Amino acid sequence: MQTTFPKLLLTHATQRPAAPAMREKEYGIWQTISWQDMATMVAQMACGLHQAGLKRGEHMVVVGSNRPRLYATMLAAQSLGAIPIPLYQDAAASECVFPMTNAEVRLCVVEDQEQVDKMLEVRETYTALERIYFDDPRGLRKYDEPGLGSVDELMAAGEVFAKQHPHFYKEQVDVGTKDDVAAMFFTSGTTGNPKGVVHTHGTLIDRAQAGAEFDHLTSNEDVLAYLPPAWIGQNIFSYAQWLVAGYVVNCPESAATVMIDLKEIGPTYYFAPPRVFEGMLTSVSIRMEDASAIKRNIYKYFMDLAMKVGPERMEGKSIGMLNSLMYGLGNLMVYGPLRNSLGFSRVRVAYTAGEAIGPDLFTFYRSIGVNLKQLYGSTETAVFVCLQPDNQARADTVGVPCRGVEIKVAENGEILVRSPGLLKGYYKNPEATAEVLTADGWYHTSDAGFLDSHGHLKIIDRVKDVGRIKGGSNDGAMFAPKYVENKLKFFPHIKEVVAYGDQRDQVCVMINIDFDAVGNWAERRNLPYAGYTDLAQKPEVYQLIRECVEEVNADLAEDELLAGSQVSRFLVLHKELDADDGELTRTNKVRRGFIAEKYLPLVDALYGGLTTQFIETVVKFEDGRAGSVSATLNISDAQTFVPVKAAA
pLDDT in tens, 383-432: 999 999 998 998 888 999 999 999 999 988 899 999 999 999 999 999 99
Q: How confident is the model at residue 246 (pLDDT cuts 50, 70, 90)?
A: very high
Which candidate, 33, 31, 10, 32, places its Cα nearest to that of 79?
A: 10
Report for 239-253, 300-314, 549-563: range of highest mean pLDDT: 239-253
CB 9 within 8 A of CB 243: yes
CB 136 within 8 A of CB 111: yes
Q: How confident is the model at residue 645 (pLDDT cuts 50, 70, 90)?
A: low
Mean pLDDT of the chain: 92
Minimum mean pLDDT among 143-157, 281-295, 318-332, 520-534: which range?
281-295
Q: Which 3-state string (H, E, C) describes 378-415?
A: CHHHCCCCEECCHHHCCCCCCCEECCCCEEEECCCCEE
Q: Give the residue ranges of DSSP H helices in 493-538.
A: 515-524, 532-536
User: Distance (Å, rounded) from C-alpha 209 to C-alpha 8?
Assistant: 12
CB 459 within 8 A of CB 415: yes
Examine the pLDDT at 145 and tell me if it is beyond 70.
Answer: yes
Residue 273 neighbours by CB under 8 Å, 6+ apart: 227, 233, 352, 353, 354, 355, 587, 588
pLDDT score recorded for residue 290: 86
Examine the pLDDT at 90 and tell me if it is beyond 50.
Answer: yes
Residue 129: left (phi > 0), alpha (psi -120 to 50), or beta? Answer: beta
Examine the pLDDT at 261 and tell me if it is beyond 80.
Answer: yes
**For 16-31, what is the mean pLDDT?**
95
Q: How confident is the model at residue 190 (pLDDT cuts 50, 70, 90)?
A: low
pLDDT score recorded for residue 191: 57
Helix (H, G, I), strand (E, B) or coil at 499: strand
pLDDT score recorded for residue 551: 94
- Element (H or E) spanning 202, and its range? helix 201-214
**For 136-165, what is the mean pLDDT?**
96
Minimum mean pLDDT among 264-273, 404-413, 600-609, 638-647: which range?
638-647
pLDDT score recorded for residue 648: 42
Q: How confident is the model at residue 189 (pLDDT cuts 50, 70, 90)?
A: low
pLDDT in tens, 467-498: 888 888 788 888 889 889 988 987 889 999 99
Examine the pLDDT at 644 and tell me if it is beyond 80.
Answer: no
- Element (H or E) spanning 330, and its range? helix 321-330
User: Distance (Å, rounded) from C-alpha 81 to C-alpha 79?
Assistant: 5
Domains of the chain in start order, with CATH, are: 5-209+226-244 (3.40.50.980), 274-420+436-462 (2.30.38.10), 467-647 (3.30.300.30)
Residue 256 neighbours by CB under 8 Å, 6+ apart: none
CB 366 within 8 A of CB 314: yes
Tell me how crowded residue 250 is: count the other CB atoms within 10 A of its CB.
Answer: 24
Examine the pLDDT at 647 and tell me if it is beyond 50.
Answer: no
As a whole-number percent, the residues of the chain with pLDDT over 70 amount to 98
pLDDT in tens, 330-378: 999 999 999 999 999 999 999 998 777 777 788 999 999 999 999 999 9
